[in-house]
Amino acid sequence: MKDPVPLAPRSARHEPLNGAGGAWALHRPGSRDVGLLSLAVIGVSLSAPLTAMVTAPMLALAFWRNAAGAAALVPVLLTRERATLTGLRWRDLRSSVVAGLFLAAHFAAWLPSLSMTTVAASVALVTTTPIWTALAARISGVLLPAAVWWGLLLAFVGVVLIVGVDVTVSLEALAGDGLAVLGAICAGGYVLAGARARQRLATSAYAVVCYSVCAVVIAVSAVLVDVPLAGFEAREWWLIAAITVSAQLFGHTLLNLVLSTVGPTVVSLAVLLEVPGALIFALVLLGQAPPLLALPGVALVVAGVALVVRASRPQTLVEPAT
């Protein structure tokens, strides 16, 4: 997953949430940014189809993905951003720990869904994270623009269509839809906690703590339920490595790289291209196509989330939890 982009608290609760200025302003991507965004979307789009090919336990995949992500960022933390460690206290790290717990819950819910329902349905539902963060903002007292509510309505109708189709497919597919939505909700908690953590910590410090906590929690869970974290065939290790490189390091790193130049709104909208991208890769790699009746639901979810991302500013994310 990518690092969340926090939204500054609004002093005037009635003020519109999609101002032209500030961190959420739209910036026209240059040719370099377009190239990097394209590569990043390809990277994250490969995540779900490759995960569906893994026969090793999903806890093992989540563990190695996060452990490798943390290990890859340690050199950055100890060299380029070492100065940011000076004077750190427990309260500075607390939100990163909470984010790691939510991230572990996200992986525990979403990854199994990929083997229960179609990749297209799972990815569409898990990308509804901006919906849940927007609702959390509303519960906290932030007034949302009308466009956000229209986006919520579109996404809700899309979810109903997807779930309605999967009811006719199997109860397992329906349970997979539920796990994907739960994964999106947990990703919302990860984003909100991460937004608070990023107010005090450099990106590498936050990510190392968050990913490490996530890996430890998953490792403990694997021990408790007697799930192996090693001893797999070479094919499984290659798939785990490919997922880690394509999604955790390659895709997400490039998204964070262009974040400062194009802004979080453009990045968030680009991430939604993961849904059709994952559908195409699932068709090529798995020969898997979603039921035709589910495609309108997938399209409505993407449109609804895009509308929410474009119109809302409260604690909204740049990260899908894939």
Considering only CA atoms, which of 9, 14, 13 is closest in space to residue 315? 9
- Between 322 and 1, name the one with better pLDDT: 322
- pLDDT (average), residues 42-52: 89
pLDDT in tens, 82-136: 777 666 677 778 888 998 999 999 999 999 998 888 888 888 888 888 788 778 8
pTM (whole model) above 0.75: yes
Instruction: Kindly state the tokens that stand for 294.
Output: 């589910």
* Vertex 68 angle, CA 66 and 73, to 5°: 95
> Do 40 and 251 touch, CB atoms closer than 8 A?
yes
Round to whole Å and give the CA distance between 259 and 318. Answer: 9
The per-residue pLDDT for 265 is 61
- As a 3-state breakdown, the chain gives helix, strand, coil percent values, each rounded to 5, of 75, 0, 25
